[in-house]
A and B are shown apart, each in its own frame.
Chain A
Amino acid sequence: MNEPNAPERQNADDLRELYRAAPQPEPPVALGDDIRQAARDSLRVSAQRGAWPWRQGVAVAAVLVLSVSILLLFPREQLHAPGEAPVQPPAVSDAPQPAQPAAPVPEPLPAPAAESKRNAAGKTRQEAPPAAARTLLQAPADERSMDSSAAGAVVNIPRETATDSRTLVEEAEQPDVADDVRDDADVLEKSYYRSSPELWISHIERLLSEGRFADAKREFDAFKAQHPQHPYAAR
């Protein structure tokens, strides 16, 4: 490695001395302040990013919750026609059912489970689609009297839920309970198709096509009373 030799160094020294003696510009004070402020701001931004590492997680969770909520709400909104006030289904009495001493209880349940079973059964009766309830009631007895092991094997659902379903079938087999369920199903079905004029008209047309003229007439009269301004009511 060759450093500059002595004459070269001496020659450079005089230039260096002259250079040092020349006016030396300094950076503007305002520019320096801006740069130092930028340095502090950069640190602050980094610190904020580091101090809130869960922000992204919260944001993703919030988006997921909102998306699921919207998806769950959407089918309900579809039941109601635009601009039409939703028709609330009539409240079904949650009064305790009459005691059923003859009904066999397959497995005893602990008190909380039994309570949830009762609630679930009531809820199912309120929310089950009418068609499903009709199918259940009109099914042959041998299909309905499926034993508990078969029910568990076929649907492969949690034991408590399977017990609830079985209890519903058993309840439906009782004559007075079957009447109650049928009445509930009728009320629900009526509430459903009466919730919008279009559904109601479809129902009337279906009754006519099935030859149930008396039922169709009764529904048409009810429709006219409910929607006197509707073009269909003028027919």
Chain B
Amino acid sequence: MDAATNAAGLSDEELMCAYRDGEAACFDKLYQRHASSLYRFVVRNAGDEQHANELFQDIWMRVINSRARYVPTASFRTWLFSIVHNRLTDYYRAQARRNARIEAASTDFEQFSDPDPLPGEALQNTQLQQALIREIGTLPRVQREAFLLKEEAGLSLDQIAEVVGSSRETIKSRLRYAVAKLRTALREEL
């Protein structure tokens, strides 16, 4: 059996350790497992594909360059998205002016109510799907990040809290506000 076949049965942490120790095929497997969700996460956060591509490549280069220091103390996914979070934080700082308008909206949490669930047929509405993606882009950064870490990266509340360096309750609150705002926006589309 070749290295790629062997890699298929390994966990993310085992793959990363094997890559750290010189198995290039294990990196390919890791990339195959996480590239899509990570890319979508970055695209949703960056807002445009050009910046997203740069960020995406830079994030993977950080993974490659920090492999020697990798110790599987947490799950690989948490470690990976911690790198993503740090890189995005740098990106947001650089884009602070551009995002100023969106950041200002994050202070007004009280305007959101907790609306009823969306009707079932609305889920098949392509226009509504596109509206959702658009509205995710307008969420305050911390809410968008929490929402995407949950929906795209599949992290738990505790893992999200670890990635962004906040408390579990803070993450829970951010998610609640994000969902409420998205739902309100989508109702206006219907």
A residues neighboring B (CB under 8 Å) = 1-4, 8, 10-12, 14-19, 21-28, 31-32, 34-36, 38-40, 42-43, 46-47
Contact = CB atoms under 8 A, between A and B. Distances in A.
B36 A26 contact: yes
Q: Is the interface of B mostly helix, strand, loop or mixed?
A: helix
Contacts of A24: 36, 40
Contacts of A38: 60-61, 64
A3 B183 CA distance: 20
A2 B183 contact: no
A15 B183 contact: yes
Given A31-B57, A38-B61, A8 B129 contact: no
Contacts of B19: 39, 43
B172 A15 contact: no
Contacts of B175: 4, 12
B42 to A, nearest CB: 9
B49 A42 contact: no
Interface residues of B, number: 45
A8 B176 contact: yes
13 contacts: A8-B179, A10-B117, A12-B175, A15-B179, A15-B182, A18-B132, A19-B151, A25-B39, A31-B53, A35-B57, A36-B31, A40-B24, A40-B27
B43 A15 contact: no
Interface of B: 19, 22, 24, 27-28, 31, 35-36, 39-40, 43, 49, 53, 56-57, 60-61, 64-65, 67-68, 114, 117-118, 120, 122-124, 128-130, 132-133, 136, 151, 157-158, 168, 172, 175-176, 179, 182-183, 186
B110 to A, nearest CB: 18
Nearest to B133: A22
A39 B129 CA distance: 36
B118 A42 contact: no
A31 B39 CA distance: 11
Contacts, number: 96
Given A39-B19, A46-B68, 19 more contacts: A2-B172, A4-B172, A8-B179, A14-B123, A15-B182, A18-B123, A19-B136, A25-B43, A27-B36, A28-B53, A31-B56, A35-B31, A35-B57, A35-B64, A36-B31, A39-B28, A39-B60, A42-B64, A43-B24
A26 B39 contact: yes
A15 B175 CA distance: 12
Contacts of B64: 35, 38-39, 42
Nearest to A39: B27
Contacts of A22: 129-130, 132-133
A17 B157 CA distance: 19
A28 B60 CA distance: 14
A36 B27 contact: yes
A34 B57 contact: yes
B129 A16 contact: no
